Amino acid sequence: MIEKDFVTKGLKRTKIDEYLENRLERAGYGGMNVQVNPLGTIIVVYAERPGMVIGRGGKTVRSITQTLKNNFNLDNPQVEVKEVDVPELNPKIMAHKVASMLQRGMHFRRVAYSTIRRIMGAGAQGVEITISGKIRGSRSATAKFIDGYIKKCGEPSVRLVKEGFATVQLKPGVLGIFVRIMSPDADLPDKVDILAPKVEDIQKEAEEDLDVSVDEPMEAEEIENLESLEDLDDAEFDDVEEIEELVDVDDIDSDNVNEVSDDVEEVENSNND
């Protein structure tokens, strides 16, 4: 069945990874990648010190290739070695470094915080270190140290967060070290980039807010009518004829008709009295 083939391939890959991790622990083993092509199987090994993986005259590489061919039944295996660019961002390497420091007798809190500072100093977005076992006494306990921003669940936690595991044998018992690192180039789906506004957009918004409009120049007749209306408001009239001479009724706006009629009635009443 197809499911059985997937399980068999995954089991074989895990066994190869465990073998290389035990064999290349001193070389700073950082993981491997298996590529199958018509010519054979290419195994890419990532290490902090590639020279120790190759060995003197390629002796170590040839030994590893022969073991992979005989013990794991790989067709024409070819081992390629690549150096890890930034070891602090590789969780497998950092987990083994934590295990090495714990084996030398350093306190687990000091080891965890120093490792976190190294990883965050390399530019990681977030890191989580978990140390479990008999770290405080005769009873087993778990200590977790977190810094930065790291995804804990969902698809981004599987795709963007790298994980590494290591064990160390101490007198009280075996300790397990679990390191999770989110690399600086991880593109999060919920990340929002706020762009600075352009100068042109700012100018357009300012013009819309001000709503500046240039009116057409007034003609001479409109200026005379405006001046006559202002004189009408300020003057005191004794006769209706003076009002008619000063202001033509056709030039009076509809808003000022009521005011003019009131003034005319007042003048007529004063003359009758």
Is 203 a domain residue?
A: no
Is 259 a domain residue?
A: yes
Same domain, 96 and 177: yes
Is 69 a domain residue?
A: yes
Phi/psi for 169 (5° steps) reads -95, 120
Is 204 a domain residue?
A: no
The distance in angstroms from the start CA to the end CA of the chain is 122
Taking residue 46's Cβ as centre, other Cβ atoms within 10 Å add up to 24
Q: What is the extent of the structural domain holding 224?
A: 220-272
- Last residue within a domain, chosen from 32, 60, 79: 79
User: What pLDDT, in 10s, does the model give residues 47-74?
Assistant: 988 888 888 888 889 999 999 888 888 8
Q: Is 130 exposed, middle or buried (0-12, 13-18, 19+ CB in 10 A)?
A: middle
Is 151 a domain residue?
A: yes
Is 200 a domain residue?
A: no
- pTM of whole model > 0.85? no
- pLDDT at position 259 is 58
User: What pLDDT, in 10s, does the model give residues 15-45?
Assistant: 998 899 888 888 888 888 888 888 888 899 9
Is 58 a domain residue?
A: yes
Same domain, 49 and 124: no
Same domain, 75 and 113: no
Instruction: Please report, for the domain that includes residue 68, its CATH number.
Output: 3.30.300.20
Does 81 have pLDDT greater than 80? yes
How many Å apart are CA 90 and CA 119, to the nearest integer? 9
How many Å apart are CA 80 and CA 56, to the nearest integer? 16
- pLDDT at position 213 is 46
Domains held by the chain: number: 3
Same domain, 178 and 95: yes
- Last residue within a domain, chosen from 182, 211, 230: 182
User: What pLDDT, in 10s, does the model give residues 85-132?
Assistant: 899 999 999 999 999 999 998 999 999 999 999 999 999 999 999 999
Does 267 have pLDDT greater than 60? no
Instruction: Please report, for the domain that includes residue 149, its CATH number.
Output: 3.30.1140.32
Same domain, 177 and 95: yes
- Last residue within a domain, chosen from 24, 55, 79: 79
Q: How many CA atoms lie within 13 A of 138 on its CB side?
A: 0
Is 63 a domain residue?
A: yes
